[in-house]
Structure 1
Amino acid sequence: MYKLWACIIKDIKLITRDWVGLSLMFIMPILLVIVITALQVGTFELVNENKVPLLIQNNDNDLISLELENTLEKIGIFRIIELDKKTSKETIAEKMKETEALVAILIPENFSTQVQHKVADFTKNTLQEFGLELEKPNQNNDLLVNELTLYYHPVLQESYRKNLLNAIRSAVQVVESKQIISTIYSSINETAMPDSILNNFETQQVHINEIPVSRDGSEVIPNAAQHNVPAWTIFAMFFIITSLGSSVVKEKNSGSSLRLKTLPTNFLITIFSKQITYLLVAMSQVFVIFSTGVFLFPFLGLPALNIPTDIVGLILVSLISGWCAVSYAIAVGVFSETQEQANGFGAISVVILAAFGGILVPKFAMPESFAFFLKISPMHWSLESYYGLFLEGGKFSDIINNVIPLLLIIILFQLIAYIGLKKNNLI
């Protein structure tokens, strides 16, 4: 026990002198979690609170095109900016840069007239199907409505662009539906439809209640901090490899193992001491990063991290995740010949594991062909365990199916490290 304690003290002293390793293990993840959370919150506010500037060049300026503009404004996500009818395509691009608008719409001439003709033709054919003989339907198959033109900034991501496009299409459908209802009413009653009916059409819509599914029955909507803080804490724990991996290589190459063979001790004690020391470092990372989410985030205008009710489960998941990160670093360090190999391979492999594990890329965004790589990434099981506590409000017993694979991966890493130590005659 004394030998183990002496090795732990030695490793702690070595860590405190490794300023680069400490910055990678603490400062980098704190900055990452702040920046990523701020970006997600900013994107959420952009979509839900701040209105997106939308340039509109209305070359029609008739009833239906003006109604379309009004409907787009009522959606609540657009801030309408009118352009002059004589604005050219090049000028639209310049205006988008000046106003920082991401999208612009060109409404063609005679848009309202063509929509009215299309709706009238559709209404006549529909009423005829019900046996109502009205005027002869327009049989002109070439009756088409000039297309709306959408200009968008190239920096706009495809998913976000499609969301905006769907919102615009919804507005067009609302305008067309109102026009169809009005035309049918006028055709049957031979009088204009009262405004009260149109108002009811707008207000009496089906509302959708959003309820998050949780294990504890709570309906608290998880915020960006609940998603990001656990994820980047796991990433930070696995980045221990930059310090621990090179430390193991240094112990091997410095001849410490040979000197230990002349003493009544074993190199395994050095390995155990490093595991204990760096597991304490991992738990320190958890404490520091979680404290950042709880106390610092509100001062930065970010949503605070809500700690799960199962504190014991949170500690156990953190310990197991930290132990897995330490085991991986030990295994890499044992098989690396130089510190450069340990640092290079370790850093690259951690980023790859993070990508496959759902930290850099969300699990739902991955193709099915990546399912195998997702399952073998220890970060995936760590993240699922944390999410079971933070997002689903579960207890440790609810996430045991995620913890068991993590324990099996730990055993695998420990076995690999043991084989490497035996192969190199270090034990």
Structure 2
Amino acid sequence: MTRLLALWRKETLALLRDRHGLAALFIMPAIFILVMSLALRDAFVPGVPADLGYAVVDLDDTPTSAAFEARLGTVDILREFGRLADEQTARREIAAGRIAFVIVLPEGFGAALDAAARTDAPSATTLRLLADPTVPLAVRNGFRQQVEAELSRQQLASVLDRLGRALMIPELRDIPERRPALEVATEAVRGETTLDPAPVLPSSVQQNVPAWLIFSMFFVVVPISAVFIAERQHGTLQRLATQQVSFGLILAGKLLPFFVVNQVQAVVMVLVGRYLVPLAGGEALVLPGNGSALFALWLMTAAVSVAAVAWALLIASLARTAEQATVFGGVGNILMGAIGGIMVPKFVMPAGMQALTQLSPMAWALDGFHRVMLRNGGSSDIVLPAAALVCFALAALVVAILLNRRARRAHC
């Protein structure tokens, strides 16, 4: 125990001397959380219009075309930019990136719609949709389907209006304009322990704070590798070995100081999400209100920290230079973050990529945080992801010890 305390003191002193490394561990994730929470705010908060917008070029200029334009304006789709004078102006606006879509209502639009309401024959008149080629195909198809749905509704309104006049039933004329009899409400389903009677949907900050916190925890590979390689080059590890200090005890001596660093990181990142992001115009991080959930959050933070430090010690054992450690650790962290839902949320990935996320320890960690922060889960809900992270840490430490024994035998 005396040796372990001495190793903890040595590692703490070495860690405090690396001020640039410590600054990177705190400044980098804080910037990521702030920037990504603001950049993705509209993608996570329902009801906020996107920056994409549409305009209308009405070449028909009839009450029917005006009614169709007004009908589109009542639908919560993209931002409406009103009318444009002609198609040339529309093409210039799209080319400049100011408008994503322009609906061109051709001459004879109203007459064609009225004729289609009387017969089933297809019309020769075509409504054209001009689109920015940089807009994703899914968005383009979704907007086109919405326009087609409003066209069908306009046609139905014309049919019912004509039928209502013929049968003298005025109620038929206003059926398309009526609101649904029952309003549909959306609610995020959470755990049974929720105390919030009206839970809200997750915001971007609730995705980005745990995601970039996990990413920054794994970046302790940089300062750990720097200290470890410096000790190897200066002969510190060799001197400890001659004093019968086992390599496993040396690794244990490095765990606690960097574990404490990770816990401080967690506190700082939570404060950034709770207080700094709202000051910049984003959503505030919402934490669970009960003690059981907060304790579960700390358990997840502890499991992530153990896994991150063990991963860093494995990289430090593999690398022979600081440059190698930076490449191995940096590339490994980026790959785990890319497939683990850190950089791109898992729910927007294709099905194949979503299955691939289970290979990343960062995905296990993010799943554990989300079980608590988004579903109000408790300690029992994070057993599997926390256990998986601890097993990953133990495996990394065992491999690091075996590599050290192999290196010693090679030098003997």
For normalisation by structure 1, the TM-score amounts to 0.86
Residues 306 and 390 in structure 2, CA contact (< 8 A), matched pair in contact too? no
> What SS does structure 2 have at the residue aligned with 1:314?
helix
Conservation of the 8 A alpha-carbon contact between 1:237 and 1:285: yes
Mark the CA change 1:30 to 1:162 in structure 2 (over 3 Å): closer, same or farther: farther
- Residue 66 of structure 1, CA deviation: 1.2
Which residue in 1 is equivalent to 2:210?
230
1:183-238 per-residue CA deviation (whole Å, 9 max, x = no partner) reads 33344x1x5x6488416733235532111111124441122221211111111111
Which range moved further: 360-369 or 273-282?
Answer: 360-369
Aligned residue in 2 for 1:81: 82
3-state SS of paired residue (1:359): coil
Q: Give CA-to-partner distance per residue, 1:340-366, whole Å, 9 cap, x none.
A: 111111111111111111112222333
Partner SS, residue 60 of structure 1 = coil
Listed as ranges, the matches of 1:28-427 within 5 Å are 28-43=28-43, 48-49=48-49, 53-76=53-76, 77-84=78-85, 87-89=86-88, 91-96=89-94, 100-122=98-120, 141=121, 143-187=122-166, 189=167, 191=168, 194=170, 197-198=173-174, 201-204=177-180, 206-215=182-191, 216-217=193-194, 218=196, 219-221=198-200, 222-308=202-288, 309=290, 310-370=293-353, 373-425=356-408
CA distance in 2, matches of 1:196, 1:99: 43
Cα distance change on mapping 1:368 and 1:79 into 2, 3 Å: closer
The amino acid that maps onto 2:28 is: M
How many pairs does the alignment contain? 402
The one-letter code sitting in structure 2 at the alignment partner of 1:332 is I
AA matched with 2:9: I
CA distance in 2, matches of 1:291, 1:342: 31
Asked whether the equivalents of residues 111 and 145 of structure 1 are also in contact (C-alpha less than 8 Å), the reply is: no
The question of whether the paired residues in 2 share the 8 Å contact of 1:115 and 1:145 is answered with: no
Q: SS of the counterpart of 1:75?
A: coil
Deviations 1:25-61 (CA, angstroms, capped at 9, x unpaired): 1111111111111012245679625785422111111
Q: How far apart are the structure 1 equivalents of 2:185 and 2:47?
A: 19
Alignment check: 8 A CA contact 2:164 2:171 kept: no
Shift of 1:324: 0.5
Counterpart-to-counterpart distance in 2, 1:404 and 1:6: 30
Deviation at 1:115, TM superposition (A): 1.5
Which amino acid in the other structure matches residue 119 of structure 2? D
Q: 1:75 to 1:145 in 2, by over 3 A?
A: farther
For residues 227 and 241 of structure 1, the distance between their equivalents in structure 2, rounded to whole angstroms, comes to 23
Q: Distance in 2 between matches of 1:163 and 1:393?
A: 33
Unpaired runs of at least 5, structure 2 = none
Return the alpha-carbon distance in structure 1 between the equivalents of residues 12 and 349 of structure 2.
Answer: 40
Contact persistence 1:51–1:79 (CA under 8 A)? no
Q: What secondary structure, in the 3-state scheme, does the structure 2 residue paired with 1:48 have?
A: coil
Q: Distance in 1 between matches of 2:342 and 2:363?
A: 8
Task: Identify if the C-alpha distance between structure 1 residues 284 and 52 changes in structure 2 by more than 3 Å, giving closer, same or farther.
Answer: same
1:297-347 deviations in Å (ceiling 9; x for gaps): 222222111112311111111000111011111111111121111111111
- Give the whole-Å Cα distance in 2 for the aligned partners of 1:42 and 1:321: 29
Cα gap change, 1:406 to 1:267, in 2 (>3 Å) = closer
After superposition, the C-alpha distances for 1:354-385 in whole angstroms (9 at most, x for unaligned) are 11111122223334434553222111110110
Q: For residues 119 and 238 of structure 2, what CA distance do their matches in structure 1 show?
A: 93
2:98 is matched by which residue type in structure 1? E
Identity %: 23
Q: Deviations over 1:240-295 (max 9, x none)?
A: 11221232223223322211223243343332121111111111110100111122
Please give the per-residue CA displacement for 1:150-178, whole angstroms capped at 9, x wherever unaligned: 22233433344444334333332322221
CA-based RMSD: 2.6
Q: 1:202 to 1:105 in 2, by over 3 A?
A: same
Letter in 2 for 1:111: F
Unaligned runs of 5+ in 1: 123-140
Contact 1:59 1:108 (8 Å CA) reproduced: yes
